[in-house]
Amino acid sequence: MTSKTKVLNFVQKYTMIIALVLVTAFFAWRTNGKILMPQNITNIISQNAYVFVLATGMLMCILTGGNIDLSVGSVVCFVGTVGAVMMDRDLNMWLAVLLMLVVGLLIGAWQAFWIAYVKVPPFITTLAGMLIFRGLSNVVLQGKTMAVTNEKFVQIFGGGANCYVPDFFGGENINILCLVVGILACIIYLVITTRNQITRRKANLESGSLAATVIKAVIIVAVVIFFTLRLAQYKGLPMALIWVVAVIMIYSYVTSKTTVGRYLYAVGGNETATKLSGIDTRKIYFFAYTNMGLLAGLAGILTIARLTSAQPTYGQNYEMDAIGSCFIGGASAYGGVGTVPGVIIGALLMGVINIGMSIMGVDANYQKVVKGLVLLAAVIFDVVSKKKNS
């Protein structure tokens, strides 16, 4: 391979990361570095926690063939409503959490049934869901706001002023626990990567270029350290981050290491071939949409915790954020392509753009247009690169 092709391949593979770096640099310049300040870095994570969670779930649906779920915003609102009302009636916090997740799961299963077994187009089913659950939220709340006062709940799920993991090491100006966690994460990552490389090379299997792996590792470690440093300089690890990381780890595992995950990619890649290979594709669609409901439930929990209240208007446009993150993160509108890390990068990109524009004081409408353009660019890029490959 010529060096030119090598560079091109590299660019194609890591486009999103490069885009993220460039966009961050752009905003760093335009905000005079403000965006890289500890508080803002923390906000990127804690304010966008729901996006990471929803986008991960949306990815599962998009993988099956470009199918989206328009109802997630309303489901978030409805689940939050149910939880807030229950906790207001003094229901045990953990029971309320369980209830919220179950409600999300049931809603997901309901929609999944119509989509997978009755073959109602996902667009219609979830559009209807979007309206039905918004209406139901309104009915339950009677148009009013309900405060969420359970402090423990708020704290654990990332809301309020104290929703950070307390520093066991009692650092004064800097959250030592946070730093420790960051360093630990890097060490674990390095150990796993090294082990993988050793076992692969021993078995004489395919292992990729050593240089690329090393570079990738160095970059990841650098970014993680930077992030944790910033977080440590503010208030430490936001609780929301814990949940987000949990979701990312679980679903990265599901998509890359489980048969269910594999089938998601297969159905999106070529449904006929998958059917003829003996897989019941209806079950796969059912899984994707039920799972989306579950994650919407989690996002509902995070939302009412962060906003310490439930209102019938919450969750609006959440589906756009999630869908946008997926496409920007490299998911294909035709299905079968897309990864959880990619989607997270996409969500990060959108988060950076959001916060960057806010800091710059950009008009809300401008922001919407920019986001629309970014989505457009991502979708076209996807189509163009598909044409090139075929």
Residues 336-365 contacting another protein, CB under 8 A: 336-337, 364-365
Q: Is 96 in the site for another protein (CB under 8 A)?
A: no
Q: Which residues in the 245-264 window bind another protein by CB under 8 A?
A: 256-260, 262
Least CB distance from residue 265 to another protein, whole Å? 7
| 109 CB neighbour count, 10 Å cutoff | 17
Sign of the torsion formed by the C-alpha atoms of 183, 186, 187 and 188: positive
Residue in 136, 180, 224, 307 binding another protein, rule: CB under 8 A: 136
Number of residues that bind another protein (CB under 8 A): 71
Q: CA separation (Å) from 338 to 60, 81, 238, 289?
A: 9, 32, 27, 17
Three-class DSSP labels, 350-385: HHHHHHHHHHCCCCHHHHHHHHHHHHHHHHHHHHHH
Least CB distance from residue 172 to another protein, whole Å? 45
Q: Is 145 in the site for another protein (CB under 8 A)?
A: no
**Cα(first)–Cα(last) distance of the chain, in Å?**
20
Residue positions counted in the chain: 390
Residue in 139, 191, 198, 222 binding another protein, rule: CB under 8 A: 139
Q: Shortest CA distance to 60 belongs to which of 6, 110, 108?
A: 108
Q: What is the 8-class DSSP label of residue 34?
A: G
Residue in 123, 191, 192, 215 binding another protein, rule: CB under 8 A: 123
Residue in 58, 72, 266, 348 binding another protein, rule: CB under 8 A: 266
| Pairing label, strands 309-310, 146-147 | antiparallel
Residue in 27, 50, 52, 114 binding another protein, rule: CB under 8 A: 114
CA 113, chain centre distance (Å): 24
- C-alpha angle 118-122-124 in degrees, rounded to nearest 5: 95
Q: Which residues in the 195-224 window bind another protein by CB under 8 A?
A: 199-200, 203, 205-206
Q: Shortest CA distance to 22 belongs to which of 377, 366, 364?
A: 377
Q: Is 129 in the site for another protein (CB under 8 A)?
A: yes
- Which is nearer to another protein, 191 or 383 (by Cβ)? 383
- Which is nearer to another protein, 57 or 236 (by Cβ)? 57
Least CB distance from residue 378 to another protein, whole Å? 10
Least CB distance from residue 370 to another protein, whole Å? 8
- Which is nearer to another protein, 167 or 382 (by Cβ)? 382
Least CB distance from residue 143 to another protein, whole Å? 7
Pair of tokens at residue 59: 């990815």
- Which is nearer to another protein, 96 or 254 (by Cβ)? 254
Q: Which residues in the 267-306 window bind another protein by CB under 8 A?
A: 269-270, 272-280
- State residue 325 phi and psi, 5-degree precision: -60, -40
- Which is nearer to another protein, 166 or 372 (by Cβ)? 372
* Element spanning 16, H or E: helix 15-30
- Which is nearer to another protein, 152 or 388 (by Cβ)? 388
Q: Is 119 in the site for another protein (CB under 8 A)?
A: yes
